[in-house]
Amino acid sequence: MDAHAWDERYAASDLVWSAGPNAVVAAECAGLPPGRAVDLAAGEGRHALWLAGRGWQVTAVDFAAVGLEKGRRVAEGSDLAGSVTWVHDDATTWRAADDAAYDLALLAYLQLPPAERRAAVRGAHAALAPGGTLLVVAHDRTNLTEGTGGPQDPEVLMSAEDVLADLADLAHEVHRAERVARPVEPGHGGGAGLVAWDCVVRVSRPA
């Protein structure tokens, strides 16, 4: 889907995604000390807003202006307005300003073909300060045949090994790289007892 299609999707409903953070994202970020974060492909801002609520200064980047505007309105209706900067840009081409070095770069469920995914992952790594964390959470390739929900195009699915290959020539320390089962609530792509399979990669840039 292109930016126009996402704008239409975001405009068609109150919230496309849940208001709260993805459980895996929340668990992986909960132990990190607040600092500066960039949420790439932020959509309606659920993760950016959650991070801001935990004390982070967040840059939320997305190519869908409608999604960003929905997140901005939520922030302005709370005490988080000054904690999130909303940037209309493409996660595959966005680059941090020369003076911007982030303690966390998040890519959550950005499902792209390999070349575009690689560009986004490497751009996120480049935005990190020394010691900063890059977290990638996405639908795993095996979810197509073993899980439920998620994209049905194998071209945009991935594995932890794919993400690590994207980073192979860049300095990084691997803290987690695996396939993770995510229970699916009834009515969200499946029924009771079903799971989706996610690819989870958390690395840090050496200090």
Tens digit of each residue's pLDDT (9 = 90 or more) over 71-90: 888 888 788 888 999 999 99
Spatial distance between the Cα atoms of 37 and 60, rounded to a whole number of angstroms: 9
Residue 192: is its pLDDT beyond 70?
A: no
pTM, two decimals, is 0.89
Burial zone of 62 (CB within 10 Å; 0-12 exposed, 13-18 middle, 19+ buried) = buried
Q: Which two tokens stand for residue 8?
A: 């239409």
Q: Would you state the pLDDT for residue 97?
A: 86
Among candidate residues 61, 44, 159, the one with its CA nearest the CA of residue 102: 61
3-state secondary structure 145-206: HHCCCCCCCHHHCECHHHHHHHCCCCCCEEEEEEEEEEECCCCCCCCCCCEEEEEEEEEECC
143's enclosing H/E stretch is helix 143-146
**In angstroms, what CA-CA distances link 39 with 5, 30, 143, 151, 196?**
20, 15, 24, 21, 23
At 7, the pLDDT band (50, 70, 90 cuts) reads very low
Q: What whole-number distance in Å separates Cα of residue 20 and Cα of residue 130?
A: 29
Length of the chain equals 207
Give the bridge partners for 179, in sequence order: 199
List the one residue out of 53, 70, 51 whose CA is nearest residue 62: 70
Over 70: is that where the pLDDT of 93 sits?
A: yes
Distance CA 175, CA 202 (A): 6
Q: Is the pLDDT of residue 46 over 70?
A: yes
Instruction: For domain 3-204, give the CATH number.
Output: 3.40.50.150
Mean pLDDT of the chain: 89
